[in-house]
Structure 1
């Protein structure tokens, strides 16, 4: 038995982890734009990355290390993705690390921002040289990695095990746009003092990604820099595999839901729950199709319970389905029931009321099996166009 309790705090609340964020002049606004995570005890590290074929230089740099390497330092910059920068992008990362006056073990760099621009090496080196590696400001770090985010994204849990031991696990992340299943335009750094084996770290990351970061969509675009990184310094000496997997799931779910809710200009966070499909794969196909559909997203923005857009997307997904078995609901309000039109004035008014909420479910009962999957999305409105029309400025 174990208990998992949410607690207040940032990554620096976890034994052995230090972090901070500063302004290095990367953002014209002068806001914080460069941060770090440091631990005096080298960490096991595992990560999952974007499936975009054009992976950014920081990802390629990470993958040059030997499998199951350890690290004690992660450097994170915003405003510049260091993507589509060729071999020079990797060389620039090495130049930065070779310029820092710290005892670094297999240092890692992570970047987010505009694609296609070389890193401003001088600004990053000057900023990083000013780091105090004993600093403890997870709040500053959370602000430094933001791009179009409306707010910082963090969470923290303490896991109490049956033998009286405990460990902590927490995360900081960024992500609001260019979010699509197969990760997102997102960076997520998860730290723990659990004594978790490296192989369990990788397994848990992959398993939990499918129902969290790989189940969200803001706009249907997949970035070049998407990263979910897990660092474990093992200082607590506490571990239970089942407890760890569940705690990691909670952390990743929290971060994924914050990203959907913060979709650039979004006002609605919606769960697309597909049930009774003939296979999990088909349920997943439909749920993700619904979370990606621009027509569905704009209907959500307009608070229009147009079930025709839902039904059309299900049929277009080419899964096994039948009008005579399909049921569509907004929360508990049924608008289509196995070939019967339920969308009269009364039901439409009830459904419209549901769509005025900030959060709700669109439930699609395929009625042909017993498999299910839930994807998460948001509405898409004028603000999204405004933000992305002038992103580089």
Structure 2
């Protein structure tokens, strides 16, 4: 048995972890743009990355290390993705780290992570100058969370404490960024999860891959996948506590929290919808339909307009090419049934009730396929004028 308790604060509350964020001149107006995570003990590290074939230089640099390596330092910059920069992008990371010296605090297999505009060389001079001002004994998770933001409307973090049956306990927390270019198969997102649990590498990777399917791989803002997407777990083992089942469950909670914060941000989004597809022929077919709904621009704009247009829902399911039959399909907005096995239930009163559901900040759109037992829930948001405004001048 174990108990999982949400707690307030940032990853700097976890034993042995230090972090901060500064302004290094990458962003204008003195905004924070460079941060770090440091551990007083080398961490077991596991990560999953974007499925975009054009992976950014920081990801390639990470993958040059041997599997199951340990690290004590992650350097994170915003405003520049260091993507589509070729071999020079990796060389720049090596050059950058070769110029950092923190005295008695030696860097072990340092990791670089970047987010921002694709296709620009990394501004090494600014980053080195900024990083040299770091105090690796700082504990300022709030600054770190703001330094990694790009188009995010707000910083994203969460914290949990896990109490085990033997009386030991460990903490786990995350800091993340992500608001746009969010599509199933990760997203334009960075997520750093720190824990003082003593987690074996194999267990980190197993839990990451399993939990990603129902969290980061189940959200969509705009149907795009970027080049830098990273979910990383750092385990320094300082608590000497561990339970595989408890770790897998609390990691799921952390990843779900971060995923929901990202889709709710959504570069101007006001609505979050859970697209719950049930009774499909298989779980795989349910996933296909649910993700099609979360990605559909027509569905997203209907959410923005608070229009319970069930025709767009049904059309998207049919276009996903899963097995379906309109005489078995049931569509509901929360508990308001608008289409029931070939019968249109959309009279004036029902439309008004469904419209009231769409006025809420969060709701479910439930699609009962009626052909099996497969199910999957994907999460999406509305798409409005603000999204176009943000992305029309993203490089400025």
Aligned residues: 393
Q: Does 1:370 align with 2:373?
A: yes
Q: Helix, strand or coil: the match of 2:3?
A: strand
RMSD of equivalent CA atoms:
0.4
Aligned: 1:240 with 2:265: no
- Per the alignment, residue 307 of structure 2 pairs with 304
Aligned ranges 1:9-24 → 2 under 5 Å = 9-24=9-24
Residue aligned with 1:41, SS: strand
Partner of 1:51, secondary structure, is coil
Q: Which TM-score applies when normalising by structure 1?
A: 1.00
| Moved segments of 4+, more than 2 Å | none
The separation in 2 between residues aligned to 1:221 and 1:242, in whole angstroms, is: 33
Hey, what's the Cα distance between the residues in 2 that align with 1:371 and 1:242?
Answer: 25
Give me the whole-angstrom Cα distance separating, in 2, the residues matched to 1:166 and 1:310.
45
Cα distance in 2, alignment partners of residues 82 and 184 from structure 1: 17
2:151 equivalent in structure 1: 148
Structure 1: state its 5+ residue gaps: none
- Per-residue deviation, 1:29: 2.0
How far apart are residue 30 of structure 1 and its match? 1.4
Where 1:71 maps in the other structure, the secondary structure is: strand
User: How far off its partner does 1:28 sit?
Assistant: 1.2
2:5 matched to which residue of 1? 5
2:124 and 2:262 mapped to 1: Cα distance? 29
Q: Is it true that 1:105 corresponds to 2:108 in the alignment?
A: yes
Secondary structure at 2:101's aligned position in 1?
Answer: coil
Per-residue CA deviation, residues 27-47 of structure 1 (Å, 9 max, x unaligned), is: 012100000000010000000
**Match in the other structure for 1:209:** 212
Residue in 2 that maps onto 1:181: 184
Whole-angstrom distance in 2 between the partners of 1:239 and 1:148 = 36
Deviations along 1:119-156, one digit per CA (max 9) or x if unpaired, are: 11100000000000000000000000000000000000
Please give the alpha-carbon distance, in whole angstroms, between the structure 2 residues aligned to 1:357 and 1:313. Answer: 22
Q: Distance in 1 between matches of 2:374 and 2:165?
A: 34
Q: Deviations over 1:341-386 (max 9, x none)?
A: 0011010000000000000000000011111100000000000000
5+ residue gaps, structure 2: none
**1:288-367 paired onto structure 2 within 5 Å:** 288-367=291-370
Normalised by the length of structure 2, the TM-score is: 0.99
- 2:63 is matched with 63
1:116 is displaced (CA, Å) by 0.1
Q: State whether structure 2 residue 45 is matched by structure 1 residue 42.
A: no
Aligned to 1:79: 79
Distance 1:281 1:42 in 2: 39
